[in-house]
Structure 1
Amino acid sequence: MKNLTYIFLLFIFACNEGQDEITVYNGRIESETVRISAKTVGDIDSVLVDEGESVKKGQLLAVINTDKTKLRKKIQQAQLNEISANHASIQAQLKQLEAQLALGNLNLGKIENMLSKGAATQSQKDDIQTQVDVLMAKQTALKTQFNVIASKKEQLNATIDLTNLSIQDARIYAPINGVILSRFHTEGEGTAPGVPLFEMADLQKMTASIYVPLEELPDIQLSQSADIFISGKENSIKGSVSWIASESEFTPKTILTKETRNTLVYAVEISIENPDGLLKIGMPVDVSFAD
């Protein structure tokens, strides 16, 4: 998110009536914006909203073509099917070897017993031992192959998950309720992850931004009530202080008078509810604070 408009202090003036003094700060209305970017690569199939259009959170804004991505998924799925078949085949071979090893070890035990009684020869015992050793070597090799294929299968599954996510990301939805401020691309144009597609803002929640001199800053507190005046409206709009800068800065360069250009000031933001849409981005306002 970013601030759409640059904020500046136009001038601070006071109205004197007897002993009362009301300080009025000039500033501008702004709104926090959301930039919606593409998350996948492809040509834009459709853009479903125009600039200035109000949208709801979760509303479909645009669709990116996924033909190439879906084709890539078919290839990945075919590879996965082949690997899964090999995996199953090796698993079956391992089960067969386990049965052969069990039988071989049983025979080896019998021949060792017979050898101790003189009913068998060492050569017979060595032959069976060799058979068992060969089976164990095969089992070790198959287990290694089984684990390698299992790892490849896991990696390919993860790749397919990413491809599925890419297909899902081809549908662009509004992240908030608001208004489309800018549309950066149209149908047929190519896009890629990180490329901005839209910029939008919730115009029912606005901010008046002003600058306050150091000597007047102690009179302003967080959550303090504020009155916002706009041209053409007699009554003020209520707001409250939502942020006070912790560091000072020089008066913005748009202030060119000798009296103010070297003044250190603090940025202050006032949050304002804007359900009727009276406040517009960039609109100049006057702000005063309740005692």
Structure 2
Amino acid sequence: MSMPRSTGMNRNRIIRNGIFTALVLLLAACGAGDGERSFTGQVEGRVYSVSSPVSDRLLELSVWEGDRLAEGQTVGRIDTAALELQRKSLIAGRDQIGLQLQELTLTTAQVKDTRDYYATTYRRNLELLKEQAVSDQKVRDLKLNADKWERELTTLRIKEQSLKRQQDEIGYKLEELDLMISKATLTSPAAGYVDQVYFEKGEFVPALRPVVELVSLEYVWCYLYLGESGIAQISPGQEMTARLGENTFRARVEHINSSAEFTPREVLTPENREALVYAVRVGIENPDGILKIGMPVVLEW
């Protein structure tokens, strides 16, 4: 099962490295004012945790740290022997219920025939009673028998419904087991690099614990925090340039928060802690994976 490490079953977690929760806000050049068109932000990216839905041994591990994986590529496999035994037990129980239903069908048919016989005989003798051709006691006895077999037939039909519900419940459990067995083959949820391997082949893996952590670096982003004058210089969709040493990358403003906030405490000095700013998310194209999570990059526009 694959999911971002900060959640549980196909959701991505956006991490922020170290104590810099949002952004390292530093002027790339000389000033500290919002009028500058060059700011330094910290690269952020998407991290995926590949985990198992069941607790058991790690039978296979086919990747290692630093490997580049394609989306859907096999990472490893969890032992499913216990799940397979549960599946066989459920199938045996389902087959047993099937035999009971077959037997019940035959019994129901016999009871229905008996009920129909007494019901038909009762109606016929009821007409004869009007002509005083039969005794009143005989008619009452026939009615009692017809009612008795009607109740028996109702009981059998209720039992049949109960067995069918049990059969359906087993079917649902089998579907759940089949899903867990299929997820025991761990695959990469996206293209990326193996950043961490937490378990070795043969080790016991608790349910939902990450086995491998992947980092996707093809597209990264960073946050800028700009005041009123700075926010007036940019707009969503605006092109920017991200710079790391001699390397440059295409960047674009993806989102500007609609409400102001205090600049993150971790990146402030006492003098400017009270400044209100707007968070700006800037996406950066990183096809060669040069930028890594946590790196500072200079954004220019």
TM-score (norm 1): 0.87
Which residue number corresponds to residue 265 of structure 1? 277
Match of 1:247 among 250, 253, 260: 260
Which residue number corresponds to residue 285 of structure 1? 297
Q: Which amino acid letter does the alignment assign opposite residue 176 of structure 2? A: L
- Stretches of structure 2 lacking an aligned partner (at least 5 in a row): 1-12
Which residue number corresponds to residue 102 of structure 2? 88
Q: Which amino acid letter does the alignment assign opposite residue 9 of structure 1? A: L
Which residue number corresponds to residue 25 of structure 2? 9
Displacement after TM superposition at 1:25 (Å): 0.4
Distance 1:146 1:284 in 2: 69
Which residue number corresponds to residue 9 of structure 2? none
What fraction of aligned residue pairs are identical, expressed as a percent?
21
Distance 1:22 1:216 in 2: 8
Note the alpha carbon deviations across 1:158-208, whole angstroms, 9 max, x for none.
Answer: 122211111112111111122222222222222333212222232111113
Which region of structure 1 is more displaced relative to structure 2, 140-149 or 54-63?
140-149
Distance 1:69 1:4 in 2: 38
Displacement after TM superposition at 1:261 (Å): 4.9
Distance 2:143 2:264 in 1: 92
Q: Does the CA contact (< 8 Å) of 2:260 and 2:276 recur in 1?
A: no
Which residue number corresponds to residue 176 of structure 2? 162
Task: Find out whether 1:192 has 2:210 as its counterpart.
Answer: no
Displacement after TM superposition at 1:219 (Å): 1.3
Q: Does the CA contact (< 8 Å) of 2:241 and 2:251 recur in 1?
A: yes
Q: Which amino acid letter does the alignment assign opposite residue 13 of structure 1? A: A
Q: Does the CA contact (< 8 Å) of 2:44 and 2:294 recur in 1?
A: yes
Q: Does the CA contact (< 8 Å) of 1:9 and 1:252 recur in 2?
A: no
Q: What do you get for the CA RMSD once the two structures are aligned?
A: 2.2
Which residue number corresponds to residue 85 of structure 2? 71
Task: Find out whether 1:60 has 2:74 as its counterpart.
Answer: yes
Count of matched residue positions in the alignment of Structure 1 and Structure 2? 281
Distance 2:72 2:157 in 1: 48
TM-score (norm 2): 0.84
The SS at the match of 1:119 is: coil
Note the alpha carbon deviations across 1:53-107, whole angstroms, 9 max, x for none.
Answer: 1111111112111111111111111111112211222122112222222222221
The SS at the match of 1:240 is: strand
Q: Which amino acid letter does the alignment assign opposite residue 112 of structure 2? A: E
Match of 2:193 among 176, 179, 194: 179
Distance 1:31 1:45 in 2: 30
Distance 1:278 1:126 in 2: 95
- Stretches of structure 1 lacking an aligned partner (at least 5 in a row): 16-20
Note the alpha carbon deviations across 1:223-268, whole angstroms, 9 max, x for none.
Answer: 11111111133xx322101122333222542455x65455443332
